[in-house]
Amino acid sequence: CGQGALFEYVRKNAPAVDMRYIGIDVSKVMVRTANVRHGLVRGGQLRKLLKRYPVLADVKVVRGPKDKTRPKFVVQDFLDPDAGVAADYYVCSGCMTIGDAKLWDKVSKPFVVKMGRLSRRGMYFNMLSQRHMKSYPGFAFYDYDEICQWLATVFPDATIHARHDYLEFRDFSIFVEF
């Protein structure tokens, strides 16, 4: 979930969408930031967080809804067997760009498979493209054609929508529709 920007974006650009949003992140700091940003932490708990993480004082607070569409942000490693819940959609924006593409078989591939297993209607993710650059320390680059072919074998009944025509081919986005 990072800092909760996707929830903010959807609320701003599609306010009529009735959604329940659960943001999952392995980073406690990201989840804390998302909770502060969306006004989900108050009083003594907020004072404790600000004392321990002074950088959170600079977080812009976005006032959100107070009804059932209020977001929930949780600290979990998505690859843990008990992490995640069945949902209409899963979105993974940016997390597979950090790291090392050599971890594709151990990390990213199981991550995508799990998103697909838990998604009822679809899933979206993006990756950095090898067409632009083969490597850069700390970032993972992938072969667009290989990923699309692999997805077609893993989710043979799904419709795969893929874009690799923007940002000078630096990255690509894939939406798998079930």
pTM here is 0.85
pLDDT given at position 52:
77
Task: Output DSSP code: residue 158.
Answer: S
Q: Are 94 and 2 in contact (CB under 8 A)?
A: yes
Distances (CA, A) of 13 to 77, 146, 148, 177: 29, 33, 29, 22
Q: What is the mean pLDDT of the chain?
A: 88
Q: Taking 70 as the threshold, does the pLDDT of residue 87 lie above it?
A: yes
**Could you tell me the two tokens for 85?**
């819940």
Q: Are 57 and 50 in contact (CB under 8 A)?
A: yes
What are phi and psi for residue 50, nearest 5 degrees? -65, -35
Q: Are 78 and 24 in contact (CB under 8 A)?
A: yes
pLDDT given at position 134:
83
Residue with tokens 């950095």: 128
Helix ranges (DSSP H) in 38-88: 43-52
